[in-house]
Amino acid sequence: MVEEAKKSLQGIQKKDFTTAKSFANPPGGVPEVFAACMYLLAGHWNEAIEVDKNKKPKSCDWKSSVKMMKNPEEFVTRL
């Protein structure tokens, strides 16, 4: 299962993040996917995700998601 997940991540390109970051109001489901990513990476990537004392994301809004995607290559590597 982990290998399948790694394989899926290989299909993601930098332009996919450029497109996602361009959304002022992303389509339904998109914010939830990035919020889930923030929870997965919270406490492991403090440069991109601010966490509270319980190591949970302080905010999972779209603005926080865009901040997390600032460096697409690192984002995919961290996933």
For the entire predicted model, the pTM comes to 0.85
Domain count for the chain, please give it.
1
How far apart are the C-alpha atoms of 58 and 15, rounded to whole Å? 27
Domain of residue 38: give its range.
2-21+29-78
How far apart are the C-alpha atoms of 57 and 5, rounded to whole Å? 23
pLDDT for 6 equals: 82
- 41 or 11, greater pLDDT: 41
pLDDT for 4 equals: 87
How does pLDDT run across 33-77, given as a tens digit for each residue? 999 999 999 999 999 999 999 999 999 999 999 999 999 889 988
